[in-house]
Chain A
Amino acid sequence: MQTIPLPQNIKDEFQTFEALLNGSKEPPLHAIRTQAWGQLQELGIPGPKSEDYRNTPIGKKLSNTVSTNTKTESYWNEKTIKNSKGPNIKGYKIILINGRFDPDLSDAIPGDIGVEITPLNTALGSNQEWVEDFNKRFKGHGNEPFVLLNNAFLKNGYCLKIKEGAQIKDPFLIYHFTDEGGGSAVENCKNFIHAGASSKCAVFTFHYHHGAGNTLINYGEDIIVEANAHLDFLKIQDQTEELFSVDNTRVLQEKDSRFTIFTLSSHGSMIRNNLHIGLNDSGIESNMYGLYLLDGQAHVDHHTIVDHRMPHSVSNELYKGVIDDAAHGVFNGKIFVRKDAQKTNAFQSNKNILLSDDAVINTKPQLEIWADDVKCSHGCTTGQLDEEAQFYLQTRGLSKKSARAMLLFAFAVDVLEHISNTEVKSYLTEIIQKRLNPS
Chain B
Amino acid sequence: MLTIKNLHASVENLNILNGIDLEVKPGEVHALMGPNGSGKSTLASVLAGREDFEVTKGSITYKGMDLLELSTEVRAREGIFLAFQYPVEIPGVSTTNFLKTALNQVRQHRGQDPLDAVSFLTLIKEKMKLVDINQALMSRSLNEGFSGGEKKRNEIFQMAVMEPKLAILDETDSGLDIDALKVVSRGVNALKTKDNAIIVITHYQRLLDYIVPDFVHVLSKGKIVKTGDKSLALELEEKGYDWLKAEV
Contact A406 B50 (CB under 8 A): no
Minimal Cβ-Cβ distance residue in B for A413 = B92
Given the known interface contacts A395-B81, A396-B162, the answer about A406 and B76 at a Cβ–Cβ threshold of 8 Å is no
Chain A 379-400, CB-CB to B under 8 Å as 1, else 0, gives 0000000101101111111111
What is the distance, in angstroms, from A321's C-beta to the closest C-beta of chain B?
16
Taking a contact as CB atoms under 8 Å apart, the answer to whether A397 and B76 are in contact is yes
Is residue B90 contacting chain A, with contact meaning CB distance below 8 A?
A: yes
Closest to A409 in B: B92
Q: Mark A390-418, 1 if CB is under 8 A from B, else 0.
A: 01111111111011001101110110000
* Best-buried of A395, A397, A407, A411 by chain B (most CB within 10 Å): A397
Task: Give the residue of B92, B102, B141 whose beta carbon is less than 8 angstroms from that of A398.
Answer: B102
* CB within 8 Å: A-B pair count: 74
Q: How far, in whole Å, are A45 and B82 apart by their CA atoms in the complex?
A: 60
A389 to B50 CA separation, bound complex (whole angstroms)? 12
Give bound CA distance, A413 to B71, whole Å.
29
With a cutoff of 8 Å between Cβ atoms, the chain A residues found around residue B141 in the complex are 410
Chain A residues with CB under 8 A of B48? 395
Inter-chain CA distance A348–B73, complex, in Å, is: 38
- Given known contacts A388-B88, A389-B88, is B93 in contact with A396 (CB within 8 Å)? no
Of B51, B76, B91, the residue contacting A396 (CB under 8 A) is B76
In the assembled complex, which residues on chain B have CB atoms less than 8 Å from the CB atom of A406? 93, 98, 101
Q: Is there contact, CB below 8 Å, between A392 and B88? A: yes
Q: Which single member of B91, B98, B106, B109 contacts A393 (CB below 8 Å)?
A: B98
Which residues of chain B come closer than 8 Å to A407, judged between CB atoms? 90, 93
In this assembly, does B84 line the interface, its C-beta being within 8 Å of a C-beta of chain A? yes
As a 0/1 sequence over residues 83 to 116 of chain B, the CB contacts with chain A under 8 angstroms (1 = contact) are: 0100110111100001101110110010000000
Residues of A close to B73: CB separation below 8 A = 394-395, 397-400, 403
Contact partners of A393 in chain B: CB under 8 A: 90, 93, 98, 102
B103 touches A392 (CB 8 A): no
Chain A interface residue count, CB cutoff 8 Å, equals 22
Residues of chain A within 8 A (CB-CB) of B88 are 386, 388-389, 392
How many Å lie between the Cα of A411 and that of B91 in the bound state? 7
Contact B105 A402 (CB under 8 A): yes
In the complex, B72 has a CB within 8 A of chain A: yes
**CB-CB under 8 A for A395 and B90, given A400-B71, A402-B101, A402-B105:** no
| Chain A residue at minimal CB-CB distance from B159 | A396
Q: Indicate if the CB atoms of B84 and A396 lie closer than 8 Å.
A: no
Residues of chain B within 8 A of A395, CB atoms compared: 48-49, 72-73, 75-76, 81-82, 84
Q: Which residue of A389, A402, A413 is within 8 Å of B90 (Cβ)?
A: A389
A-binding residues in B (CB < 8 A): 48-51, 71-73, 75-77, 81-82, 84, 87-88, 90-93, 98-99, 101-103, 105-106, 109, 141, 158, 162
Known: A397-B105, A403-B73, A406-B98. 13 other contacts (CB 8 A): A386-B88, A391-B50, A391-B72, A393-B90, A394-B49, A395-B72, A396-B158, A397-B73, A397-B162, A400-B71, A407-B90, A407-B93, A410-B91
User: Can you list 26 A-B pairs, Cβ within 8 angstroms, ordered by A?
Assistant: A386-B88, A389-B88, A389-B90, A392-B84, A392-B87, A392-B90, A393-B98, A394-B71, A394-B76, A395-B73, A395-B84, A396-B76, A396-B102, A396-B162, A397-B77, A397-B102, A397-B105, A397-B109, A398-B101, A399-B73, A400-B72, A402-B101, A406-B98, A410-B90, A411-B91, A413-B92
Residues of A within 8 A of B (CB): 386, 388-389, 391-400, 402-403, 406-407, 409-411, 413-414
